[in-house]
Structure 1
Amino acid sequence: MFLECGVSEVGMAVVESESGANGRVHRSDVRAARRRLSGLIRKTPVFHTTITSPSGPVPVSLKLEYLQHGGSFKVRGSFNALLEAGEQVEQVVIASSGNAGIAAALASARLHKSCTVVVPESAPHTKVAAMWSHGAEVLWHGTTYADALGYATELAAERSALQLHAYDLPAVVAGAGVIGLELEEQVRGRPSVLAAVGGGGLIAGIAAAIGRRQHVIGVEPVGSPTLHAALAANQPVDIGAPTTAADSLGASRIGDIAMDLSRRHHVRSLLVTDDAIVTAREYLWREFRVVVELAGAAALGAVQSGVYVPEPDERPVVVLCGANTDLSAL
């Protein structure tokens, strides 16, 4: 939908994508993204520790992705998509309620492109402020992400701009997948990897990178089960208005790329309550002085609440994916 060769009839400037040319993303695409991103992103560290759970202490490896530029994993995909698009792209448009918009604004500024982010009225002020800090134009439209996405598509066509997608674009997914390649170098063995799911870009990228080698498990709020519902129906479905405190996980439908990769690599979905997510975030702050947003604590919530029980002698990897939060909420 977003990346074809030439200029569309309505005037939106688009370019052919090397990643996932047939709509699919493979490990080779992720490896190409890692080469492209060299020097632009942080190889975020891994912290080996033990956390509490209903069955007792559980050893885990925490991937500290909240230390990434822009405060979340999203910047990996934005940089990859813009670099893949090439220098002919001067304007970028994206719909986002938060982290994807921050990432697009940051990457655009670093690569000397203009960026417009269309946000729904519910977008958190702290995240909008971060978009502004990177020089983005921010436009409010509608009350949902779907409303913002529709307007962003129109705007990109009017301006002949490159339209990025927050999670359902091959280059964006491939960029996020570099996390999986880093984990292969940072963690011994092939433990399960748990990561939060909203629209599915993060879990899809990790699955593309390591899904044939390790178990990849998506963790979702009970009130926003996009992957869970899709796996049950064997196709993406609209779950209606999400009901979760984790605003970054408020997509109403899993992305097509995430659905494809979940099928191919047998990605599981686990559901956690908002209470479990809040408890996990408070635990990270109390025990380690780690500050993450609620979405960033979702995967840990699955382990800490007992929703995910590791195999004996397993040390699962938990991705702490973002930290763009209002500190007064802690």
Structure 2
Amino acid sequence: MPPLAHDDIKAATDRIAGRVRPVAVVPTGPGETAEGRVPPGRQVFLALEFMQHTGSFKARGAQNFLQAHRDAGTLPDVGVTIASGGNAGLACAWAARQQGVPATVFLPANAPAVKVARLRSYGAEVRLVGTEYAEAQAACAEFAAATGALASHAYDHPLIAAGAGTLLEEIRARVPGLDTVVVAVGGGGLYAGVATAARHHGIRTVPVEPLHCRALGAAVEAGRPVDVTVDSVAADSLGARRATALALHAARQDGARPLTVPDDGIVRARQELWDHHRLAVEHAAATAYAAVLPSPDTGESLVEGERIAVVLCGANTDPGDLTGQSRTS
């Protein structure tokens, strides 16, 4: 598989124009003092990509993937199939419905109920298999081979990654002088796309992983994609057992070493976004935000005075556990 190029991002931008919601970007701004807040001297902007169709950035890649196959005449009438922790399946089902073809989505049996319900609302056939993404992926591959359905992927495909990379072009247009963009990493589709677009414009990309879902970090250390254990509060979105070659190539190009945040830091960051910004996001989005909060693991990697955009990538979550714990009235 050839590495992703900026021309791939440009083609995706043209292909999905008018088919996705442009991202809103807002400054964090000054506010009341609270433990864990963004340190003074950091200009932090929040890219509200959780407001995208289907509730996550995945709509971009799914739209690019299916439209490219439609344009090429390779979108079969039997439809498309995908394995997912939830968000990629939602995006695939949404895009398939727009294209008028069926979608069959394989999920781990422990996928959040809110995601399963939304998948069915898009008309997808949902099949629950195993307890990890890798098991759902194996079942999906068998289904595609047996039926002739077009096999999509949650993150490991150039069209999926290129679609995700269109997000950076929009963020850059909204934040003049942007220095750094911070993204959460699971399998690495978002990171590969954003980093490819960012590098073209001289912008740094900082990948962030849960401490116990280190697929990209392990690949960087090993020099190749390797399997890792998956155990995190954010595993439903970031629980890929192995990072993609596209993501590893992007990290090598940038000399990037992913930051890691522990689960308690992710939970605090998610609560922070609710308490001080009234943003209800999933743990994957909070993983990126945790990197800009004070932490002995991440604090030295972001430079004072930088203009930093944090991608809040998804919000397919149950907000009940936020409102129940809120520290503000």
TM-score, reference length from structure 2: 0.90
1:207 aligns with 2:195: yes
Q: Match of 2:3?
A: 24
Q: Match of 1:11?
A: none
Structural mapping, 1:159-198, within 5 Å: 159-198=147-186
8 A contact 1:224–1:244 mirrored in 2: yes
Q: Match of 1:302?
A: 291
Structure 1 residue corresponding to 2:23, chosen from 44, 55, 78: 44
SS at the partner of 2:307?
A: coil
Structural mapping, 1:248-327, within 5 Å: 248-306=237-295, 307-309=298-300, 310-327=302-319
Q: Match of 1:146?
A: 134
8 A contact 1:50–1:58 mirrored in 2: no
What amino acid maps onto 1:329 in structure 2?
D
Deviation at 1:23, TM superposition (A): 3.0
Structural mapping, 1:19-98, within 5 Å: 22-50=1-29, 53=37, 55-56=39-40, 58-86=42-70, 87-89=73-75, 90=77, 91-98=79-86
What amino acid maps onto 1:258 in structure 2?
A
Deviation at 1:56, TM superposition (A): 4.2
Deviation at 1:170, TM superposition (A): 0.5
8 A contact 2:178–2:309 mirrored in 1: no
Q: 1:34-93: per-residue Cα shift (whole Å, max 9, x none)?
A: 100011101111001247548546320111101100000001000000001115413100
The 10-residue stretch of structure 1 (60-69 or 255-264) with the greater mean CA deviation from structure 2: 255-264
8 A contact 1:27–1:210 mirrored in 2: no
Q: 1:108-136: per-residue Cα shift (whole Å, max 9, x none)?
A: 11111110001111211111111111000
The 10-residue stretch of structure 1 (170-179 or 276-285) with the greater mean CA deviation from structure 2: 276-285
8 A contact 2:42–2:304 mirrored in 1: no
Structure 2 CA distance for partners of 1:54 and 1:84, relative to 1, 3 Å: closer
Structure 2 residue corresponding to 1:226, chosen from 200, 209, 215: 215
8 A contact 2:42–2:305 mirrored in 1: no
Aligned-partner Cα distance in 1 for 2:304–2:139:
50
Q: Match of 1:3?
A: none
SS at the partner of 1:304?
A: coil
Aligned-partner Cα distance in 2 for 1:262–1:291:
30
8 A contact 2:38–2:292 mirrored in 1: no
Aligned-partner Cα distance in 2 for 1:260–1:130:
34
Deviation at 1:155, TM superposition (A): 0.5
Structure 1 residue corresponding to 2:321, chosen from 299, 318, 329: 329
8 A contact 1:126–1:324 mirrored in 2: yes
TM-score, reference length from structure 1: 0.90
- Segments of structure 2 that go 5 or more residues without pairing to the other structure are 31-35, 323-329
Q: Match of 2:325?
A: none
8 A contact 1:177–1:209 mirrored in 2: yes
| Percent identity of paired positions between Structure 1 and Structure 2 | 42
SS at the partner of 1:290?
A: coil
Aligned-partner Cα distance in 1 for 2:149–2:308:
41
Deviation at 1:303, TM superposition (A): 0.9
8 A contact 1:74–1:103 mirrored in 2: yes
SS at the partner of 1:211?
A: helix
Aligned-partner Cα distance in 2 for 1:124–1:211:
35
Q: 1:4-26: per-residue Cα shift (whole Å, max 9, x none)?
A: xxxxxxxxxxxxxxxxxx43211
Deviation at 1:308, TM superposition (A): 3.6
How many residue pairs match? The answer is 308
Aligned-partner Cα distance in 2 for 1:185–1:54:
23
8 A contact 1:196–1:220 mirrored in 2: yes
Q: Match of 2:227?
A: 238
What amino acid maps onto 2:181 in structure 1?
V
What amino acid maps onto 2:131 in structure 1?
T
What amino acid maps onto 2:101 in structure 1?
K
